[in-house]
Amino acid sequence: MGHRLSRIVTRTGDNGTTGLGDGSRVAKNSVRIDAIGSVDELNSTIGLLLAGGNGGKPVRLHAGRADGLLGRVRHRMGEWLRDFF
């Protein structure tokens, strides 16, 4: 059995803020952080569908074009997440 993580610390304390990629800090309950979480959850859901999370079958819509469309949507969401940070 591997090592179990029993404690994870960042050594920044919990003052209600979270760090961004540029080093700045924003409130954990800010609209920006909420939007990042929402886009990330949607991206994960689409990824599961594309990977066969639909009862073990990959999603296919409109003669097999859904995977291309959803792939493009996921790519665009990745761009949005980069912009949020």
What percent of the chain is predicted at pLDDT more than 70?
Answer: 73
Q: How much is the pLDDT for 66?
A: 57
Asked whether residue 50 is domain-assigned, the answer is yes
Asked whether residue 78 is domain-assigned, the answer is yes
Asked whether residue 4 is domain-assigned, the answer is no
Asked whether residue 56 is domain-assigned, the answer is yes
H or E element at residue 27: strand 25-27
CA distances to 57, 77, 82 from 6, in Å: 37, 33, 31
Domain span at 61: 29-84
Asked whether residue 12 is domain-assigned, the answer is no
Q: How many domains does the chain have?
A: 1
pLDDT tens readout for residues 37-69: 998 898 888 888 777 765 666 656 554 555 677
